[in-house]
């Protein structure tokens, strides 16, 4: 189990509220927690193994086999080509002789009439060009991957590798790329194309599939990871694609980078769907330093919340009582909130800070309905852009936790 650690530092005045009767301090608190899976595996599953497939490698094998065959049979293949050429020459000559014989049977008047009206003159012998013997060209192979290394780099958080548990099959389909298309200027993208220097666009992607099988349950999930199916775009000059070799030189580096990027997405996908994953997060914890008024609720709430965040890495059960204590104190203060009265003890600034404290604490106290209530209240306030971003982040976290806890029966 990873140990949590707290990084507490006073933030500059940019993130500090102030009012005549009090001073609101905010401190960054970094904490760890265990994220639940969206698709929990059966509790009997303790281990896993990873299998990596790359079906596009069959194209490489086919191309290499054809190249070896062409090398081994180049003389016999050329002999067959020459034999076909000689047949074509003989046929062309025979057709010429037949046409010439018919021409010679015509009278002079008929010949002149055919030439003047039908533009048909004396037949001309036209022979096919003789073939030239050329060496077979090595195939342009697609980049390969060490499937064993890929399998070793992928893991499933919360499970041990090996045994007869879950089988995770990762399928690397290889890069798909469209033919270059001339880019037209549009309002959506200011094209750099000119009449004398056109720009061409290639759309490309590298799909990665995942399949998870569990003994006794069969396939529990099989799909292409959505993010890997999204096209990316490459712009270049036409000259980069004048030959297959130049095209390969331009696209291979793109394929290698996208492959590595999408394998990282595959790991994130496995973590999110199946792993009990250690996550790190930073929150802002507010407290009130009294000046002319007393704020006895805030010091104990702050201390309880700090302990709760520290213990969260060990599980919500261990930390819940501390968040509940903090929420009791914050709710006591919010009961007398008067957001429109800047001189009130719990004025708008203090109420906003307290609701942010309470919303995140309620998530980890296990009460997402309560967290929703705090967030709904914040939506009624006139928030700064920074506060709106924080609110959106907490709403996203709450929504995600709802799905994960429902999937795990919590």
* Domain finish residue from 88, 118, 141: 141
Q: Is there a single domain that holds both residue 148 and residue 125? A: no
Is 77 part of any domain? yes
- The whole-angstrom distance between residue 129's C-alpha and the CA centroid of its chain comes to 53
Q: Is there a single domain that holds both residue 256 and residue 228? A: yes
Range in 30-44, 74-88, 262-276, 358-372 with the lowest mean pLDDT: 74-88
Q: Is there a single domain that holds both residue 287 and residue 389? A: yes
Q: How much is the mean pLDDT over the chain?
A: 87
Q: Is there a single domain that holds both residue 150 and residue 136? A: no
Q: Which residues pair with 209 in a beta bridge?
A: 171, 224
C-alpha atoms less than 13 angstroms from C-alpha of 310 in its C-beta half-sphere: 11
Contact between residue 408 and residue 37 where contact means Cβ atoms under 8 Å apart: yes
SS3 144: coil
Where residue 165 sits, what CATH number does that domain have?
Answer: 3.30.160
Q: Is there a single domain that holds both residue 266 and residue 302? A: no
Is 214 part of any domain? yes
DSSP state of 190: -
Is 1 part of any domain? no
pLDDT one-digit tens code per residue, 323-351 = 999 999 999 999 999 999 999 999 999 99
Q: Is there a single domain that holds both residue 257 and residue 269? A: yes
Given a cut of 60, whether residue 405 has pLDDT beyond it is: yes
| Nearest alpha carbon to residue 57 among 171, 169, 152, 225 | 171
Q: Is there a single domain that holds both residue 357 and residue 247? A: no
| 5 pLDDT tier (thresholds 50, 70, 90) | very low
Range of the domain at 115: 63-141
Question: Which residues touch 244 (CB under 8 Å, ≥6 apart)?
Answer: 140
**pTM (2 d.p.):** 0.73
Q: What percentage of residues in the chain have a pLDDT greater than 70?
A: 89
* Domain finish residue from 141, 164, 193: 141
Given a cut of 60, whether residue 12 has pLDDT beyond it is: no
Helix (H) or strand (E) segment spanning residue 35? strand 22-35
Is 42 part of any domain? no
Is 363 part of any domain? yes
pLDDT one-digit tens code per residue, 278-312 = 999 999 999 998 888 899 999 999 999 999 999 99
Q: Which residues pair with 74 in a beta bridge?
A: none
Q: Is there a single domain that holds both residue 368 and residue 285? A: yes
Is 41 part of any domain? no
What total number of domains does the chain contain? Answer: 3
Contact between residue 203 and residue 173 where contact means Cβ atoms under 8 Å apart: no
Neighbours of 157 (CB within 10 A): 16
pLDDT score recorded for residue 101: 85
Question: 3-class secondary structure for 254-280?
Answer: HHHHHHHHHHHHHHHHHHHHHCCEEEE
Q: Is there a single domain that holds both residue 222 and residue 128? A: no
Q: Is there a single domain that holds both residue 110 and residue 121? A: yes
- Region for 409 from its dihedrals, namely left if φ exceeds 0, alpha if ψ lies in -120 to 50, beta otherwise: left
Neighbours of 357 (CB within 10 A): 27
Is 247 part of any domain? yes
pLDDT one-digit tens code per residue, 70-126 = 778 887 888 888 899 989 999 989 988 888 888 788 777 777 776 655 556 678 888
Given a cut of 80, whether residue 369 has pLDDT beyond it is: yes
Q: Which residues pair with 16 in a beta bridge?
A: none
Q: Is there a single domain that holds both residue 293 and residue 398? A: yes
CA dihedral sign, ordered 339, 341, 347, 348:
positive
* Domain finish residue from 115, 141, 167: 141
pLDDT score recorded for residue 66: 86
Task: From residue 45, give the alpha-carbon distance in Å to each of 137, 146, 170, 184, 406.
Answer: 51, 28, 19, 54, 20
**More confident: 192 or 160:** 160
Is 3 part of any domain? no
Q: Is there a single domain that holds both residue 52 and residue 182? A: yes
pLDDT one-digit tens code per residue, 38-83 = 999 998 999 999 999 999 888 888 888 888 887 788 878 888 888 9
E strands, 181-275, are 181-182, 199-205, 208-214, 218-224, 232-237
């Amino acid at each position: 189990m990873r140990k949590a650690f707290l990084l507490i530092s006073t933030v500059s005045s940019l993130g500090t509220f102030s009012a005549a009767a009090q001073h609101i301090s905010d401190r960054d608190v970094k904490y760890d927690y265990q994220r639940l899976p969206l698709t929990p595996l059966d509790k009997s599953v303790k281990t896993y193994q990873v299998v990596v497939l790359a079906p596009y490698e069959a194209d490489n094998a086919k191309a290499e086999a054809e190249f070896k065959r062409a090398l081994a049979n180049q003389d016999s293949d050329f002999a067959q080509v020459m034999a076909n050429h000689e047949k074509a020459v003989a046929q062309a000559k025979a057709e010429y002789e037949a046409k010439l014989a018919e021409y010679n049977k015509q009278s002079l008047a008929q010949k002149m009439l055919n030439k003047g009206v039908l533009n048909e003159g004396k037949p001309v012998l036209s022979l096919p060009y003789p073939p030239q013997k050329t060496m077979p060209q090595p195939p342009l192979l697609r980049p390969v991957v060490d499937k064993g290394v890929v399998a070793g780099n992928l893991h499933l958080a919360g499970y041990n590798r090996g045994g007869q548990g879950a089988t995770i099959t990762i399928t690397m389909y290889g890069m798909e790329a469209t033919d270059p298309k001339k880019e037209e200027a549009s309002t959506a993208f200011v094209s750099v194309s000119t009449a004398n220097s056109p720009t061409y666009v290639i759309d490309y992607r590298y799909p990665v599939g995942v399949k998870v099988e569990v003994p006794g349950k069969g396939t529990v999930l099989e799909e292409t990871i959505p993010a890997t199916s999204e096209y990316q775009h490459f712009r270049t000059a036409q000259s980069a694609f004048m030959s297959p070799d130049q095209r390969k030189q331009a696209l291979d580096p793109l394929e290698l980078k996208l492959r590595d990027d999408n394998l990282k997405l595959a790991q994130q996908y496995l973590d999110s769907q199946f792993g009990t994953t250690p996550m790190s997060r930073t929150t802002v914890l507010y407290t009130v330093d009294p000046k002319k008024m007393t704020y006895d609720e805030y010091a104990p709430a702050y201390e309880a919340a700090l302990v709760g965040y520290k213990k969260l890495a060990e599980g919500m059960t261990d930390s819940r009582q501390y968040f509940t204590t903090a929420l009791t104190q914050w709710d006591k203060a919010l009961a007398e909130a008067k957001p429109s009265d800047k001189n009130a003890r719990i004025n708008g600034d203090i109420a906003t800070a307290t609701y942010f404290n309470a919303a995140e604490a309620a998530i980890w106290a296990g009460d997402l309905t309560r967290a929703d209530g705090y967030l709904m209240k914040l939506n009624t306030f006139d928030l700064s852009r920074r506060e709106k971003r924080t609110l959106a982040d907490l709403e996203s976290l709450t929504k995600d936790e709802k799905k994960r806890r429902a999937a795990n029966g919590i």
